[in-house]
Chains A and B, each alone.
Chain A
Amino acid sequence: MTLGARFAVGRLFERLTALAAALIVVALGVVLVDVLRDGVGVVSWRFFVDEPGAGPTEGGIFPAIFGTVVLTLVMTIIVMPLGVGAALYLHEYASPTSRVAGLARAAIHHLAGVPSIVYGLFGLGFFVHTVGGAVDAVTGQTLKWGQPGLLWAACTLAVLTLPTVIVATEEALRSVPREVRLASLALGATRAQTLGKVVLPAAAPGILTAAVLAISRGAGEVAPVLLTGVASWLPDLPGSLSSQFMHLGFHAYVLATQSPDVDAARPALAGTVAALLVLTFLLNLVAIVLRVRLRRGMEAS
């Protein structure tokens, strides 16, 4: 091949890669525009604050928004101490040659690859039937905790988002220079004091990122809650942690697949999807911005 031909071929392939990048961005943009288009002009403020009506096309989606928010809140309360603790162990305490830490890393790596529906099965088998059943047996109740509900769905999502939190928290801990820990210890602080007063405050933005990433992941997952506590139509807000609840993602699924008249359900579907997207996108955007800042800070130090 002549030099000219080689350059021509190269340019052609370079353009193809540019085309691929453009294609991905455009395809995902088309999805967003398409799912939101039907809702414009139909979706009103009332749609987001009203209870659902008798049919899928009537009323609002407030219980679904409420259910999603409470679910992810409870999930966050469960996953953050566990995830941050695990990251502290792996990054601050465990020696690099530790067998236990190696196993823990491998386990977390594998947990991250487990399909979300399998988490659902696990939540059903472990939290609902085993733990819930045991709580019922001990307290002498029948089928209060031993059936799918808010707490068990939140526990399941907490296990699902645990690897995300651990990985993101470890990244935050890496951004804290080793010298500040040594300085703190040299001044006579215990390890717990060093963690609490030096390391954790310095890593706080990164840990916040971890929480936001977990929330945005947890808010969008439907398959695990499908098996562990969601209800398709429940105008009453969940009154206790053992109640069933409505969920934005599941509501979108129900509207899209279970409505007798699909076209009539389109505006409600678009509105539900819009609420879900706004929730997850805002969270993702916050996480990305926090992350960029964290990385800039790391490069500067």
Chain B
Amino acid sequence: MRELTQPALASRPTPPSGEAQRRAARWDLFVELAVTGAGVAGIVLLLLMIVFVVREALPLVLDPTQREQASLGKLLLPQPWRDGHPPAFLWNPTSKVPKVSVWPLVIGTLKVTFVALAMAAPAGVAAALFTSEFAPGRLRTWIKPTIELLAGIPSVVLGSFALMTLASALQATFGFDFRLNALVAGLAMSLAIVPVIYTLTDDALRAVPHTYREAALALGATRWETAFRVVLPAAAPGVLGALVLGVGRAVGETMIVLMASGNAAMVSANLAEPTRTLSATIAAEMGEVVMGSTHASLLFLLGAILFLFNLVLNVTAGAWVRARLQRREGAPS
């Protein structure tokens, strides 16, 4: 809980007398206004971001040609694409008849995120349990800064690793038909999000009061039972926050998937096939797009989808965490 005491500088002092003091007071007021302005800038920027990403996608609704080229039906329903073939979900906005289904991209994003989370969530939470509950003191002081340092590896470096080394190694081991696929991208992505999940879970576990552990141990629980059945559930809101942040990172991460996913937009549940995500599509196609075209508006629409997804994810997770924390703190002690 944040302290509810008033900050020391919150109230304006009494008006001054004398020229020097008046000048000091004017400067004082100016600083207050400047600082308040900077504080409000966060709100302004978030609003601007919504306005400008949505504004560039708006012609899809307002412009008759664009509305026709990318109607809701074309975005969401299977479309005929070749005689003799059943209608399909296809993304190819630069072909002669633009195909603009968002499903291949949404599914691709979900596939890569799923792989990344399936690897990073168990590993990150387990490693956090180790450093907060079991590790001897000296090891603990080394592992966390090391992993935090590694969290600073730029994603383009992880992408290079996935593209040059990981993809070949996995293909040699599992005999994939495609060298670059959702699995390769997801694995590389797990390297990007595991430090995030680990660090925040570790923080949440350490914030659990020591009395919980002492009570469990005194009742005869083993160290593992204490950690897994008492400390971990008590830290659940923080752990969920860590996982949500991990998912958010994975959904929005661009360079890794751009380099390692193979970038073929297709609807398939097979993780060993190439895939294309929302973020990679924006990055790959924005460079060649004609501004003002349907294609450009579509890319901004994809950006708006990403933006909204993260907003909804944050808001729902935040509400859940607050409810949980209230229950924990409100419980009779």
Q: Which residues of A approach B to under 8 Å, CB–CB?
A: 6-7, 9-11, 13-14, 16-21, 23-25, 27-28, 31-32, 34-35, 81-86, 88-97, 100-101, 103-104, 107-111, 113-122, 124-126, 129-130, 159, 162-163, 166, 178, 181-182, 185, 190-195, 216, 219-223, 226-227, 249-250, 252-253, 256-257, 262, 266, 269, 273, 276-277, 280-281, 283-285, 288, 292
Tell me which residues across on chain B come within 8 A of A34, comparing CB atoms: 161, 164-165
Tell me which residues across on chain A come within 8 A of B195, comparing CB atoms: 24, 28
**Is B153 engaged at the interface, CB distance under 8 Å to the other chain?**
yes
Given A25-B143, A118-B53, A252-B156, 9 other A-B residues pairs in contact with their CB atoms under 8 A: A20-B127, A31-B158, A34-B161, A96-B2, A110-B314, A190-B13, A190-B28, A256-B163, A257-B259
Tell me which residues across on chain B come within 8 A of A163, comparing CB atoms: 42
Tell me which residues across on chain A come within 8 A of B223, comparing CB atoms: 10, 14
A21-B131, A191-B9 known; A122-B53 Cβ under 8 A: yes
Set A21, A89, A121, A166: member contacting B299, Cβ < 8 A: A121
Bound Cα distance A223, B198 (Å): 24
Tell me which residues across on chain B come within 8 A of A252, comparing CB atoms: 156-157, 160
Tell me which residues across on chain A come within 8 A of B36, comparing CB atoms: 89, 93
Number of A-B contacts (CB under 8 A): 319
Bound Cα distance A83, B39 (Å): 8
* Distance of B106 from chain A, by nearest CB (Å): 14
**Is B32 engaged at the interface, CB distance under 8 Å to the other chain?**
yes
Bound Cα distance A239, B9 (Å): 44
Set B49, B53, B224: member contacting A11, Cβ < 8 A: B224
Set B13, B41, B245, B251: member contacting A86, Cβ < 8 A: B41
Task: Give the most central of B5, B52, B223, B279: most A CB within 10 Å.
Answer: B52
Are A18 and B135 closer than 8 Å at their CB atoms?
Answer: yes
Q: Which residues of B approach A to under 8 Å, CB–CB?
A: 2-10, 12-13, 24-25, 27-28, 30-32, 34-43, 45-49, 52-53, 55-56, 122-124, 126-127, 129-131, 133-135, 143, 145-150, 152-161, 163-165, 191, 194-195, 198, 222-225, 228, 245, 248, 251-255, 258-259, 279, 282-283, 286-287, 291, 299-300, 303, 306-307, 310-311, 313-314, 318
* Distance of A186 from chain B, by nearest CB (Å): 10
Q: List 14 A-B contacts (CB under 8 A).
A: A10-B225, A17-B130, A35-B161, A85-B37, A94-B39, A100-B40, A118-B306, A121-B56, A162-B45, A194-B8, A195-B31, A222-B255, A252-B156, A273-B157
Chain B interface, DSSP helix/strand/loop, else mixed: helix
Tell me which residues across on chain B come within 8 A of A262, comparing CB atoms: 164
Closest chain B residue to A84, Cβ basis: B38
Bound Cα distance A13, B31 (Å): 56
Set A103, A226, A256: member contacting B259, Cβ < 8 A: A256
Are B300 and A125 closer than 8 Å at their CB atoms?
Answer: yes
Bound Cα distance A121, B154 (Å): 20
Tell me which residues across on chain A come within 8 A of B163, comparing CB atoms: 256-257
Set B27, B133, B283: member contacting A117, Cβ < 8 A: B283
Tell me which residues across on chain B come within 8 A of A94, comparing CB atoms: 7, 10, 39
Bound Cα distance A120, B53 (Å): 10
Set B13, B143, B150: member contacting A21, Cβ < 8 A: B143
Tell me which residues across on chain A come within 8 A of B287, comparing CB atoms: 226-227
Closest chain A residue to B147, Cβ basis: A24
Set B49, B123, B153: member contacting A32, Cβ < 8 A: B153
A94-B10, A125-B53 known; A114-B299 Cβ under 8 A: no
* Distance of A170 from chain B, by nearest CB (Å): 11
Are B39 and A122 closer than 8 Å at their CB atoms?
Answer: no
Are B252 and A115 closer than 8 Å at their CB atoms?
Answer: yes
Set A21, A91, A110, A181: member contacting B46, Cβ < 8 A: A110
Are B149 and A288 closer than 8 Å at their CB atoms?
Answer: yes
Tell me which residues across on chain A come within 8 A of B8, comparing CB atoms: 92, 178, 181-182, 185, 194
Across chains A and B, which 8 residue pairs bring their CB atoms closest together, nearest first?
A115-B252, A85-B38, A89-B39, A220-B154, A10-B224, A20-B126, A181-B8, A17-B130
Tell me which residues across on chain A come within 8 A of B225, comparing CB atoms: 6, 10
Tell me which residues across on chain A come within 8 A of B134, comparing CB atoms: 14, 17-18
Bound Cα distance A83, B178 (Å): 46
Are A95 and B56 closer than 8 Å at their CB atoms?
Answer: no
Bound Cα distance A48, B310 (Å): 39
Tell me which residues across on chain A come within 8 A of B6, comparing CB atoms: 95-96
Task: Give the most central of A35, A100, A122, A220: most B CB within 10 Å.
Answer: A122
Closest chain B residue to A100, Cβ basis: B40
* Distance of A67 from chain B, by nearest CB (Å): 14
Bound Cα distance A34, B134 (Å): 31
Are B24 and A10 closer than 8 Å at their CB atoms?
Answer: no
Tell me which residues across on chain B come within 8 A of A220, comparing CB atoms: 152-156
Are A24 and B300 closer than 8 Å at their CB atoms?
Answer: no
Are B31 and A192 closer than 8 Å at their CB atoms?
Answer: yes
Bound Cα distance A25, B129 (Å): 15
Set B35, B129, B283, B318: member contacting A17, Cβ < 8 A: B129
